[in-house]
Amino acid sequence: MRTVIAVAAAIAMLAASLWLARPASADAPPEGIDVSGHQGNVDWGAVAGAGIKFAMVKATEGTSYTNDYFAQQYVGSFNAGLIRGAYHFGLPNASSGAAQANFLVDNGGAWSADDHTLPATLDIEWNPYGASCYGMSGASLVAWVHDFVNTYKARTGRDPIIYTAASWWNDCTGGATDFVATNPLWIAHYGVSAPNMPNGWPVYTFWQYTSTGSVPGVNGNTDRNIFNGGLDRLLALANNT
C-alpha cells in the first residue's frame, strides 16, 4: 500500500523484527500481509507456511485502475487457506464515492459468505498525486466516504473496513467520528509499540505496523499487519457473525 507516513526505515525495521521475534502460540493475534501489483505473483503456499493468516489485496483505484495480479493474489491466498480481503485506493477528487464503490464491487471486491472473505477496505489517506487532502474540505471528504461506504453496503450487505492514518484523518476530515460505530478500522502507524488512533475510534481492528516486512513467498518488502483479536474473531468478521 502506498501510505506516505514519514518514519525512519531503521525504526520500522526494528518494529518489524520485534513482532517477528514473538513466539508463536495458539492465542497469538493473527498476522497478515497486504499486497498490490508491486508484489506481482505470490507463492501463497510459502506465505501460509510462514504462519501468515490473512491477506489484504489491492483490487482497484479510482474508477480506472485494476490490479493486474489481483486474481493470482486474491484467489491464490484463498486457495492456500488464508482469510482474504480486497481493498480500494480512494481518489475522492476524481469521481463520486458511489462510482468508486461500484467499481470495486464490479472488479472483485464484493463480499462472499465463504468463511474466508472479509468485507473490502476503503484505503483513504494522503493523495499521491497532489494536495494531501485532495483539495477538499473536511465536510466534503466525510460526505464522500459516506457515499462510498453506503454504496458498498447496499451492494454487498457489509460495512467496509476503513484504512487510514490518525494524522491524515484528523487533519483532512476534521477528526470525523461518523464511522466509528459501523466501520472496522485498519490503522497505519510504523515504528511504535501502539498506534495513534484517529479521533473517536477507541480500538483498531487491524494495524499495519511496518512497510518493510519480509515474508517467504513474497518478492521484496511487504506491509505487515496484525489483527486485534484471536483467529476466531477474525473468522467472525469474515462471516458477519
Active site residues: 34, 123, 125
Alpha-carbon distances, residue 143 vs 76, 92, 152 (angstroms): 35, 10, 14
| Under 8 Å between Cβ of 18 and 210 | no
Rounded distance, CA 104 to CA 119, Å? 12
What are the φ/ψ torsions at residue 177 (nearest 5 degrees)?
-110, 15
Long-range contacts of 14-22, Cβ-Cβ distance < 8 Å, separation of 24 or more: 14/191, 15/190, 15/191, 15/192, 15/209, 15/210, 16/209, 16/210, 16/212, 16/213, 16/214, 16/224, 19/209, 19/210, 19/224, 19/226, 20/213
Distance between CA atoms of 48 and 44, rounded to whole angstroms?
6
Pure H helices in the chain: 9-20, 44-49, 70-79, 97-104, 138-156, 166-172, 231-239
